[in-house]
Structures are given as structure tokens and as C-alpha cells.
Structure 1
């Protein structure tokens, strides 16, 4: 059981790092970037889901 939880945590960490890098690379304002990065860091799973749906650089 511990290995599965650790593997899931590793996947979330990788996805969070990807989201943070993509946020840095986006053309959004500095304030928007800071808010998104804080959201991803403070709420790793929820913040990541919200970033995938609403994050900077998303075509609407």
C-alpha cells in the first residue's frame, strides 16, 4: 500500500512541477503567475486540476 501512495505522490509532484514551469513560461502578468504558483504549491491536487482547466495560456 505504501508504494502505491508514494507512486501517486510522485506523479502529483511531477505534474505540479510541470504546471509551475508552464506558468512561468506563460505570457500572463506577474501577479497572475504568482497566484497560480501559490495555488499549485498550497493545494497540489486541487490547484493542479484548476490549473489544467483555468490556468494561464488556456484557450477558451
Structure 2
């Protein structure tokens, strides 16, 4: 039961990281900051996602 839950949480974190990376790429900031944000999200998946949610660049298209 525990490994199933951990796998589900891992998939949720992966989906949120992919979503964050897409939003960083769609943002209007320069290439350098985009690369740094993507590296932060990839290297620190949970902490990078939290930092991005608080201080990261926003995409140019909002639904």
C-alpha cells in the first residue's frame, strides 16, 4: 500500500514539474533566467516547484 501511494505522489510531482517548466518556457523573461528556473525545477523537484510557485516568472497566456 505504501509504495502505491508513494508512486502516486511521485507522478503528481512529476506532472506539476512538467507544468511548471512549460509555464517557465512560455514566460516573457529572457533565456538566461528561463534556463536557471528549469534547472532549479529539475534538480530540486519539490523545493524548486515551491520556489517557482512563489517567485517564478509567469506565462504570457493565462486561462
TM-score (norm 1): 0.93
**1:41-52 alignment runs, 5 A limit:** 41-52=42-53
Distance in 2 of aligned mates of 1:48 and 1:57: 13
Paired residue for 2:16?
A: 15
Unaligned runs of 5+ in 2: none
Q: Kindly tell me the number of residue pairs found equivalent between the two proteins.
A: 58
Q: Does 1:30 align with 2:19?
A: no
Distance in 1 of aligned mates of 2:27 and 2:40: 16
TM-score (norm 2): 0.89
Unaligned runs of 5+ in 1: none
Q: CA deviation at 1:35?
A: 0.2
Q: CA deviation at 1:57?
A: 2.2
Q: CA deviation at 1:56?
A: 0.6
